[in-house]
Amino acid sequence: MSTQTQTLPSTSVAADRAGTARRDARVLVSALAALGWLGSGALTQWWAALDDWPYTRELLIFKLLLAVLSAAIGVAGWRAHALTEKRDAARPRVQTWLDATPWLLALSLGITVWEVVTAQLEWLPRPFFAPPQALLAVYADDLPRLAASVGHSFVLLAYGYACGAFTGFVIGVSIGWSKAIGYWLHPILRLVGPLPATAWLPLAFFFFPSSFSASVFLIALAAAFPVAVLTWSGVAGVSSAYYDVARTLGARPSFLILRVAIPAALPSVFVGLFMGLGASFAVLIVAEMMGVKAGLGWYLQWAQGWAAYSNMYAALFVMALMCSGLITLLFRVRDRLLAWQKGLLKW
């Protein structure tokens, strides 16, 4: 008992010291990040670019705001550690901000190098490489067209992904539950599923009455295959003991499917949904480039045609945020439905 009593406090003290050291390191990094953004702002202000790029003043203001943010995070982290226990609830939020300070420092250095090699020195050929001011100009001057493209892509992706996820889920449950259905659908799934959805482009635009409906079909096809395979695997992998217990209590086949097979297969279903979302996003861009007259894919093709590479980079950044945000939202839904597996699958 005495040994255990002595070990626990020493472990707690070591953990507190490690936390304090980590907090001090993050506060130092936040100070360096503030200095990095201030130095980058000074470079923008006093090192003239070789060309008169618009929105240089706005870029300077953006850097100064990030410098203030970095300094504020450092001050908040230092104060949160010194506060009494009544403020302990705020410490996790402050720690989350402190954990982002290395990225703030890295971004200050990266944007500075980017600006120097494009605007100040022009080592990278124009118009293929644009400075950060050019991206700000796109978001300020071409925002209505870019926002409309994002909205159109989101609607198209929502239609196609919902249809594909539902179809793949129904097929997966059917194959996993019924041997008779699996006998007919399994060979078709193995034959058609691995084909890239983009390989069906000519037939899709021929058979469907509009480019929108053809694009919905291609996106649904890309999403359905991973959802079907992983749903089928999840249903087929459910332990037979669960069914035996339910049958003993008088459960009907519909109850076995809806209350036993599907809930037990949900972890595999969500993996299929994640994979299907990534595949759907890739097909979305290709479909919009080929036939749809709006959307992010169309915007990329339009920007490339006019050699507006700053617009293309701005659209790529928006696409990355859109895809990452949708996957994050899907993870939140998964963690809510599968609370007992929260944190098991990382993103």
Residues 10-52 have pLDDT tens digits of: 565 555 566 567 777 888 899 999 999 999 999 999 998 888 8
Per-residue model confidence (pLDDT) at position 243? 85
SS3 of 160, please?
helix
Tell me the average pLDDT across 73-85: 70
Q: What angle do CA 92, 94, 98 make, to 5 degrees?
A: 110
Identity of the amino acid at 13: V
Is pLDDT above 90 for 118?
A: yes
Is pLDDT above 70 for 247?
A: yes
Q: How far is 59 from 76, CA to CA, in rounded Å?
A: 26
Is pLDDT above 90 for 290?
A: no
Domain segments of the chain as ranges: 2-128, 143-341
Residue 337's pLDDT band, with cuts at 50, 70 and 90, is confident
Pick 4 or 242 by higher pLDDT: 242
Per-residue model confidence (pLDDT) at position 84? 43
Residue 102's pLDDT band, with cuts at 50, 70 and 90, is very high
Handedness of CA 104, 105, 109, 112 (dihedral sign): positive
Q: What phi and psi values does residue 131 have, to the nearest 5 degrees? A: -75, 170
Is pLDDT above 70 for 132?
A: yes
Is pLDDT above 50 for 215?
A: yes
Residue 1's pLDDT band, with cuts at 50, 70 and 90, is very low
Please provide the average confidence, as pLDDT, over all residues in the chain: 86
Per-residue model confidence (pLDDT) at position 134? 92
Residue 92's pLDDT band, with cuts at 50, 70 and 90, is low
Q: Could you give the percent of the chain with pLDDT greater than 90? A: 49
Per-residue model confidence (pLDDT) at position 321? 93
Is pLDDT above 50 for 180?
A: yes
Q: How far is 54 from 171, CA to CA, in rounded Å?
A: 54
Pick 322 or 95 by higher pLDDT: 322
Tell me the pLDDT tens digit for each residue of 54-72: 999 999 999 999 999 999 9
Name which of 223, 217, 226, 228 is nearest 174 in CA terms. Answer: 228
Residue 2's pLDDT band, with cuts at 50, 70 and 90, is very low
Per-residue model confidence (pLDDT) at position 212? 86
Per-residue model confidence (pLDDT) at position 16? 59
Per-residue model confidence (pLDDT) at position 25? 82
Per-residue model confidence (pLDDT) at position 86? 46
Is pLDDT above 60 for 98?
A: yes
Per-residue model confidence (pLDDT) at position 8? 47
Is the domain spanning 143-341 CATH 1.10.3720.10? The answer is yes
Name which of 239, 225, 229, 155 is nearest 197 in CA terms. Answer: 225
> For the purposes of burial, counting CB atoms within 10 Å of the CB of 325, is it exposed (0-12), middle (13-18) or buried (19 or more)?
exposed
Q: What angle do CA 219, 221, 224 make, to 5 degrees?
A: 110
